[in-house]
Amino acid sequence: MITIKDKTFVPFLEPVELEKRIVELARELDKDYEGKNPLFIVVLKGAFLFAAELFKHLSTPCEITFVRLSSYESMGSSGRVKQIIGLEESVQDRHVVIVEDIVDTGLTMAQLTAQLSGQGASSVEIATLLHKPDALREDVRIRYLGFKIENRFVVGFGLDYEEHGRNLAGIHVLYEKGAE
């Protein structure tokens, strides 16, 4: 068990499990994007560790860029997506892969995919480490998925609770009595 601020979290996905699955995702991406010079767009802050691990194992020639979007406040969605750092590159006629840490309500991904398609990308796919199907409120199609998880709050491996816990090597879930 670990304590972050006022909350207790318990281990949920170990670093070795994460790495194993991320290597598999990198292999799939290598196969699907060979010769396509994809543009990977990493959504900061949460996706920084997933992206780092993924790109270490990816060998297809590609470009990597970053945006910073924010919608989650404390332990819930604010219902609005703020663009803190936007995209510098043109996506016109590019094969784009969004690299995200988690798809929760789907609001962030629904807005970003619509924006990129509207800007003339040839294709837009989502690669996310985690997804909570029971929390989804938008029509979002995930092409590359690490783990489907229950609708419970998680931290670690890039994900935060009130900006803390991003540096944890594994994913931890909020401890709720009776939910273990």
Ligand X SMILES: O=P(O)(O)OC[C@H]1O[C@H](OP(=O)(O)OP(=O)(O)O)[C@H](O)[C@@H]1O
Alpha helix segments (H runs only) across the chain: 15-32, 48-56, 107-118
Q: Which of 54, 102, 126, 136 binds ligand HPA (CB under 6 A)?
A: 102
Q: Which stretch binds ligand HPA (CB under 6 A): 28-36, 53-61, 116-124, 149-157?
A: 149-157
Q: Which of 39, 45, 50, 104 binds ligand HPA (CB under 6 A)?
A: 104
* 126 touches, from ligand HPA, ligand X, none (C-beta below 5 to 8 Å by class): none
Within 8 A by CB and 6+ apart from 172, the residues are 2, 9, 10, 11, 12, 154, 155, 156, 165
- The answer to whether residue 159 forms part of the interface with ligand HPA (CB under 6 A) is yes
The total of other beta-carbon atoms located within 10 Å of residue 76's CB is: 12
- The answer to whether residue 154 forms part of the interface with ligand HPA (CB under 6 A) is yes
Helix, strand, coil percentages (3-state) for the chain, rounded to 5, are 25, 40, 40
What length does the chain have?
180
- The answer to whether residue 70 forms part of the interface with ligand X (CB under 6 A) is yes
- State yes or no: is 104 an active-site residue: yes
Q: Which is nearer to ligand X, 36 or 68 (CB)?
A: 68
- The answer to whether residue 39 forms part of the interface with ligand X (CB under 6 A) is no
Question: Residue 158 CB, nearest distance to ligand HPA (Å)?
Answer: 9
**Residues involved in catalysis:** 104
